[in-house]
Amino acid sequence: MSLDQTATKPHEQLATHLGGGMEAVNTLIRTRMASEHAPRIPEVTAHLVEAGGKRLRPMLTLAAAELCGYDGPYHVNLAAAVEFIHTATLLHDDVVDESGQRRGRPTANLLWDNKSSVLVGDYLLSRSFQLMVETGNLRVLDILANASATIAEGEVLQLTASQDLRTNEAIYLQIVRGKTAALFSAATQVGGVIATAPEDQVQALFDYGDALGIAFQIVDDLLDYQGDSNATGKNVGDDFRERKLTLPVIKAIAAASPEERAFWQRTIEKGRQEDGDLDHAQSLLRKHDTLAATRTDALAWADKAKTAMRCLPEHPLRQMLIDLADYVVARVN
Amino acid sequence: MSLDQTATKPHEQLATHLGGGMEAVNTLIRTRMASEHAPRIPEVTAHLVEAGGKRLRPMLTLAAAELCGYDGPYHVNLAAAVEFIHTATLLHDDVVDESGQRRGRPTANLLWDNKSSVLVGDYLLSRSFQLMVETGNLRVLDILANASATIAEGEVLQLTASQDLRTNEAIYLQIVRGKTAALFSAATQVGGVIATAPEDQVQALFDYGDALGIAFQIVDDLLDYQGDSNATGKNVGDDFRERKLTLPVIKAIAAASPEERAFWQRTIEKGRQEDGDLDHAQSLLRKHDTLAATRTDALAWADKAKTAMRCLPEHPLRQMLIDLADYVVARVN
């Protein structure tokens, strides 16, 4: 891939524009993941933090703050706090999902153990609150504490609802807000709050992050049934094999004949899967055209994100955030 | 047991004195452990919260606040926040220790699963920060975020150090501060801070909680080698079988002959335990008189706690807190 092509990706443009700020965030992350007494903590954290994630969430915080004219130091704290919450979530998720791989590398629970993943996650969550307290801004604490509760609630809900055929689109949305959108919307919102932006802009930043996160997750669900695993790094059918009720399936179940419903009951609810079931599942999604309907939903959420941006001031970052919303759904166009 | 005898226990006296406040704390706990979307959360939390713990930590917060003349509503928030941090820690501990029993009942990870324990713990930790944010007091947020980080750090340290014979009394103290004392000292300190007590009283409240917590944990370690399991609910030798380097053993290792050191290496470091090893371990503790030395340490910490109380105003609660320090070590006298 040439440098030019790389530069056209909105998250790369964001990274370039926010260069100095992101360096400050990375330095702060490295400083605060240290532990005077327990070297296991930075070992486990570094494994994940330095695995080459896109740092999308902290970039959203820096971008929102700069877009609203902030020139203080605390957006860096908030961006690092957001990344610590995200990292803690990943550590705990990998324990919960009994995952062996993340970002193409063995997970921390596999390299060390579940104990380390649980406790280091707790440490990072506490560290994130320390970073927020340093800003002296109670409203950002309120926003991020609420996001953190929504994340955990969404994950618990997913435990109990993801194999229950009664799970409808409203419950799905609740789970997706917990899994993804709550931290996206908090990341953008606190950027506006720390910049003391007008209330309509703060709300618009929340709406942008919320819609972007939902679009992001819906696309992820979609790629699992129709993606090119070379391009996405996901194997087609993983969600089906893991019996996850994602949006294309929820839509297919809503339109299912009694016979089709029995198929979903056997494969998702009871988990008794046989050879050829994935093919049959895909044929049902085609029959009810739910991949197209899901794609329409993703595009609508991306549009919602772009519309929200209209409230924000003219700025090169505003265009990058708009482009980012397009880019997130471009994977399924 | 007659009511009179019950009434002589300092924690019962505290419960009686703080009656209305503790009822408010319990109501707040029940309200905040609810979840609109995920009923699994209150189920898991109730199992632990209603299992009949003594609620010692929230009582310490209420007592400290009242002792310093506080008459606002926020000590109730802080007490509930402290109990949520404690409950989250227990949920995660039981996953880490693969425990099957706590307070004489099956643990949540056994009744539900590790996933629920990890995620509900995360939820309660987030809820505790929401409760603190509502007080509008940044200093209590700072104190409790620091305590929360110290707890996680101490637990990680215990993972790596508890079977390492190089673990000395300084590292032991660090672990104990994480396991127990950090939340005790934060619980008492935030009571003083919310009451805007003078700085020397806030410091004294911290010192009291810190010393009480350390005394409490040392006594726990001691009872594991010399207790009456009917009275303590612990089986003698559990720590030895679980290869935990507790204070009596650390002292015995510091005084060990090469042959004795080899015994500890085999049984604690390598975990190759045979019939009769517990008896031999106990004979080594007797030989070096480390149970008596450990008891002396516990009494010294209890004295430190009582001394700290001298800075606080005359008040029935002050005497109860002094009596509590005596009570904690009375189990080994």
Q: Which residues contact A319 (CB under 8 A, 6 or more apart)?
A: none
- For residue A41, what pLDDT band results from cuts at 50, 70 and 90? confident
The 10s digit of each residue's pLDDT in A312-328 is 999 999 999 999 999 99
Name the residue type at position A64. A
- For position A109, what pLDDT does the model report? 75
| Separation CA B19–CA B24 (nearest Å) | 9
Comparing A110 with A130, which gets the higher pLDDT? A130
Cβ–Cβ of A126/B152 closer than 8 Å? Answer: yes
Q: Which of B333, B86, B326 is nearest to B222 (CA)?
A: B333
Taking residues B168-188, report their average pLDDT.
94
Name the residue type at position B183. L
CA dihedral over B101, B103, B106, B107, signed as positive or negative: negative
- For position B280, what pLDDT does the model report? 96
| Separation CA B149–CA A35 (nearest Å) | 10
Cβ–Cβ of A130/B114 closer than 8 Å? Answer: no
B90 interaction partners in chain A (CB closer than 8 Å)? none
Please give the residue range of the domain that contains residue A268: 3-330
Which of A94, A124, A125 to mutate to test binding with chain B, by most B CBs within 10 Å of its CB?
A125
- For position B114, what pLDDT does the model report? 82
| Separation CA A101–CA A37 (nearest Å) | 28
- For position B1, what pLDDT does the model report? 33
Distance to chain B for A118, nearest Cα, Å: 7
- For position B227, what pLDDT does the model report? 67
Comparing B1 with A127, which gets the higher pLDDT? A127
Quickly count helices (H) and strands (E) in chain A.
Answer: 19, 2
| Separation CA B79–CA B77 (nearest Å) | 6
B160 interaction partners in chain A (CB closer than 8 Å)? 38-40
Element (H, E) at A11: helix A10-17
B51: left (phi over 0), alpha (psi -120 to 50) or beta: alpha
DSSP single-letter state for residue B313: P
Name the residue type at position A85. I
User: Could you tell me if A149 and B130 are in contact, meaning their C-beta atoms sit under 8 angstroms apart?
Assistant: yes
- For position B230, what pLDDT does the model report? 59
| pLDDT cut 90: percent of chain A above it | 71
A159 interaction partners in chain B (CB closer than 8 Å)? 40, 115-116, 119
Residue A99 has pLDDT above 80, yes or no: no
**B79: which 2 tokens?**
């007490």
The 10s digit of each residue's pLDDT in A118-128 is 999 999 999 99
Residue B38 CA from chain centroid, whole number: 29
Taking residues A175-181, report their average pLDDT.
92
Distance to chain B for A190, nearest Cα, Å: 15
Q: Which of A122, A273, A286, A235 is nearest to B158 (CA)?
A: A122
Residue A300 has pLDDT above 80, yes or no: yes
Residue of B nearest to A98 (CA): B115
User: Could you tell me if A178 and A216 are in contact, meaning their C-beta atoms sit under 8 angstroms apart?
Assistant: no
- For position A1, what pLDDT does the model report? 33
Q: Which of A324-333, B97-106, B146-155 has the lowest mean pLDDT?
A: B97-106
Cβ–Cβ of B40/A151 closer than 8 Å? Answer: no
Distance to chain B for A259, nearest Cα, Å: 30
The 10s digit of each residue's pLDDT in A251-288 is 999 999 999 999 999 999 999 999 999 999 999 999 99
B120 interaction partners in chain A (CB closer than 8 Å)? 152, 156
- For position A42, what pLDDT does the model report? 86
Residue A139 has pLDDT above 90, yes or no: yes
Say whether A231 sits in a helix, a strand or coil: helix
Taking residues B273-301, report their average pLDDT.
95
| pLDDT cut 70: percent of chain B above it | 93
| Separation CA A209–CA A321 (nearest Å) | 10
B133 interaction partners in chain A (CB closer than 8 Å)? 138, 141-142, 145
- Check which CATH number belongs to the domain holding B117 and give it: 1.10.600.10
Cβ–Cβ of B156/A96 closer than 8 Å? Answer: no
Residue of B nearest to A88 (CA): B122
Cβ–Cβ of A152/B123 closer than 8 Å? Answer: yes
Which of B96, B129, B142 to mutate to test binding with chain A, by most A CBs within 10 Å of its CB?
B129
- For residue A110, what pLDDT band results from cuts at 50, 70 and 90? confident
| Separation CA B93–CA B176 (nearest Å) | 14
Nearest neighbour of A149 by CB, restricted to B114, B127, B138: B127
B157 interaction partners in chain A (CB closer than 8 Å)? 37-38
- For position B232, what pLDDT does the model report? 57
Say whether A109 sits in a helix, a strand or coil: helix
User: How would you classify the pairing of strands B101-102 and A101-102?
Assistant: unpaired
CA dihedral over B290, B294, B299, B304, signed as positive or negative: positive
Cα Rg of chain A, angstroms = 20
A90 interaction partners in chain B (CB closer than 8 Å)? none
User: In the predicted model, what is the mean pLDDT of chain A?
Assistant: 90
Residue A172: CB atoms within 10 A of its CB come to 24
Q: Residue A102 forms beta bridges with which residues? A: A105
A109 interaction partners in chain B (CB closer than 8 Å)? none
| pLDDT cut 90: percent of chain B above it | 71
- For residue A3, what pLDDT band results from cuts at 50, 70 and 90? very low
Nearest neighbour of B156 by CB, restricted to A40, A95, A133: A40
Q: Which of A1-5, A28-32, A214-218, A244-248 has the lowest mean pLDDT?
A: A1-5
| Separation CA B94–CA B101 (nearest Å) | 8
Element (H, E) at A102: strand A101-102
| Separation CA A60–CA A66 (nearest Å) | 10
The 10s digit of each residue's pLDDT in A195-213 is 999 999 999 999 999 999 9
Residue of A nearest to B147 (CA): A126
Nearest neighbour of A159 by CB, restricted to B116, B121, B133: B116
Residue of B nearest to A35 (CA): B153
| Residues of B contacting chain A (CB within 8 angstroms) | 35, 37-41, 88, 92, 95-96, 114-116, 118-123, 125-127, 129-130, 133, 136, 138, 141-142, 145-146, 148-149, 151-157, 159-160, 171, 174
The 10s digit of each residue's pLDDT in B210-261 is 999 999 999 999 998 886 655 555 678 888 998 889 999 999 999 999 999 9
Cβ–Cβ of A156/B129 closer than 8 Å? Answer: no
Q: Which of B127-131, B159-163, B289-293 has the lowest mean pLDDT?
A: B159-163
- For residue B5, what pLDDT band results from cuts at 50, 70 and 90? very low
Residue A232 has pLDDT above 60, yes or no: no
Q: What is the largest CA-CA distance in chain A?
A: 61
**A298: which 2 tokens?**
């993703």
Distance to chain A for B122, nearest Cα, Å: 6
Give ∠ CA A303-A305-A310 in degrees, rounded to 5: 95
Nearest neighbour of B153 by CB, restricted to A41, A116, A138: A41
Distance to chain B for A37, nearest Cα, Å: 7
Q: Which of B79, B67, B68, B69 is nearest to B21 (CA)?
A: B79
Cβ–Cβ of A38/B96 closer than 8 Å? Answer: no
Cβ–Cβ of A142/B133 closer than 8 Å? Answer: yes
| Residues of A contacting chain B (CB within 8 angstroms) | 35, 37-41, 88, 92, 95-96, 114-116, 118-123, 125-127, 129-130, 133, 136, 138, 141-142, 145-146, 148-149, 151-157, 159-160, 171, 174
User: How would you classify the pairing of strands B101-102 and B105-106?
Assistant: antiparallel
Q: Residue B102 forms beta bridges with which residues? A: B105
- Burial string for B53-63 (b: 16+ CB within 10 Å, else e) reads bebbbbbbbbb
| Phi, psi of A303, deg, nearest 5 | -60, -40
Q: Number of residue pairs across A and B with CB atoms under 8 Å?
A: 140
**B315: which 2 tokens?**
């008040």
Q: Which residues contact A325 (CB under 8 A, 6 or more apart)?
A: A208, A211, A212, A215, A302, A303, A305, A306, A309
The 10s digit of each residue's pLDDT in B113-127 is 788 889 999 999 999
Cβ–Cβ of B119/A149 closer than 8 Å? Answer: no
Comparing A51 with A296, which gets the higher pLDDT? A296
| Separation CA B6–CA B327 (nearest Å) | 13
| Separation CA A88–CA B65 (nearest Å) | 33
**How many structural domains compose chain A?**
1
- For position A111, what pLDDT does the model report? 72
- Kindly tell me the burial class for residue B172, based on how many C-beta atoms sit within 10 Å of its own C-beta (0-12, 13-18, 19 or more): buried
User: Could you tell me if A194 and A140 are in contact, meaning their C-beta atoms sit under 8 angstroms apart?
Assistant: yes
Q: Which of A303, A68, A118, A23 is nearest to A107 (CA)?
A: A118
Cβ–Cβ of A155/B122 closer than 8 Å? Answer: yes
Nearest neighbour of B130 by CB, restricted to A39, A123, A145: A145
User: In the predicted model, what is the mean pLDDT of chain B?
Assistant: 90
Q: Residue A105 forms beta bridges with which residues? A: A102
CA dihedral (A11, A14, A16, A19) in degrees, to 10, reads -120
- For position B3, what pLDDT does the model report? 39
Cα Rg of chain B, angstroms = 20
